[in-house]
Amino acid sequence: MGAVYFYHLTRQPLEETLPALLGKALENGWRVAVRGRDATHLARLDEQLWMGPEDGFLPHGLAGGRQDGDQPVLLTTGTERPNGALCVMAVDGADVSAEEVQALERVCILFDGRDEAALQAARSQWKALTAAGCAAQYWSEESGRWQKKAEA
């Protein structure tokens, strides 16, 4: 049974935080689905991941290609995981179900702390997922480094 980790972004933007989390997931041997709501935003994330530092290359692709099943990291707006992802990283308020959390190794929900709608969506997801019995952790970077602030 997996767990859901909530990452409250207050200092670094998603574009800087996501590569670090993806690297840790890959180090754990997990394939990852980065799930968003906006295909245009995922395309921008795709470009930024390709332009990352040379020593931090993250093999990845956008969903919809012939090699989706081969991608260690697949950026998608869908709920399917053709790459066999054991970890889902939800951005832009993408939905995650309690059944998914329990079936996967890890679900990460990344949300912008400067966006009131994103904060409210994350709070709603926390309530729904913990009420369904999912193990959850809340992480904040407010102090300048990531700290676990709550656990359910």
pLDDT tens track for 106-136: 999 999 999 999 999 999 999 999 999 999 9
Pairs from 78-87 (Cβ < 8 Å, separation ≥ 24): 78/35, 79/35, 81/31, 81/33, 83/31, 83/33, 84/31, 85/30, 85/31, 85/32, 85/33, 86/30, 86/31, 86/32, 87/25, 87/28, 87/30, 87/31, 87/32, 87/33
**Check whether domain 3-151 has CATH 3.40.50.10110, yes or no:** yes
Round to whole Å and give the CA distance between 15 and 34. Answer: 12
The token duo for 138 is 């809340």
| pLDDT at residue 143 in the model | 87
Round to whole Å and give the CA distance between 49 and 32. Answer: 14
Round to whole Å and give the CA distance between 133 and 46. Answer: 33
* H helical segments located in the chain: 14-27, 39-50, 98-103, 116-131
What pLDDT digit, counting tens, does each position of 39-87 carry?
A: 999 999 999 998 876 667 889 999 998 999 999 999 999 999 999 999 9
- Position with higher pLDDT, 58 vs 103: 103
Q: Where are the domains of the chain?
A: 3-151
Mean pLDDT to the nearest integer, 28-46: 96
| pLDDT at residue 52 in the model | 72
| pLDDT at residue 114 in the model | 93
